Amino acid sequence: MPDEMFFSKDERALVRGRRTAKRTPTMRPCLLTLSDGGQVEGIILNLTPHGMLVRVLGTLEIGTPVEVQMMRDENFQKPLAEARHGTVVRLDASDGVFSDMGIKLENKRAAPRPRAKTILPRTVAPARPRAPRGMQTIDVTLGDAKRPGRK
């Protein structure tokens, strides 16, 4: 059947290949803190806004809540950013020593910004309609002197 060439039989076959966000490949050291206080060192292989793929030495169970702290250095001493909470949703331990874990991050919404006071622009009073301007003339006389040509 032609469909068997394109779809595998597992439950994720229909959603495979449709990513919610583009992956960013990276080799960033990270420190995973478990809920019991234990810490596991790992390397982030790729990263999206929704989750990450982390390679660690050993394994964790699917559904384990973790806190992921990206580190600036390879000695795991200097944190790079604030820690993010997530859950292990995928585990690939095919070679036995290292395991690749898919961690889904909790959706952290930014706190709403306080609304700024609305500033309305000053309303300028409409200009008064002016009388039509025409040519204005004035007749000036000094004393009793009359100008020639005038009556």
Give the CATH number, domain containing residue 49.
2.40.10.220
Distance between CA atoms of 147 and 136, rounded to whole angstroms? 20
pLDDT at 7 over 70: no
Domain that holds residue 101: 22-105
Q: What is the pTM of this model?
A: 0.57
* CB within 8 Å of 35: residues ≥ 6 apart: 64, 65, 66
At which residue do the structure tokens 């020593």 appear?
A: 97
Judge contact between 70 and 78, C-beta under 8 A.
no
Judge contact between 57 and 41, C-beta under 8 A.
yes
Question: Per the domain annotation, does 45 fall within a domain?
Answer: yes
Question: Per the domain annotation, does 101 fall within a domain?
Answer: yes
Count of domains for the chain = 1
Question: Per the domain annotation, does 135 fall within a domain?
Answer: no
Indicate the pLDDT class of residue 54, thresholds 50, 70 and 90.
very high
* Type of residue at 125: A
Question: Per the domain annotation, does 64 fall within a domain?
Answer: yes
Judge contact between 30 and 71, C-beta under 8 A.
yes
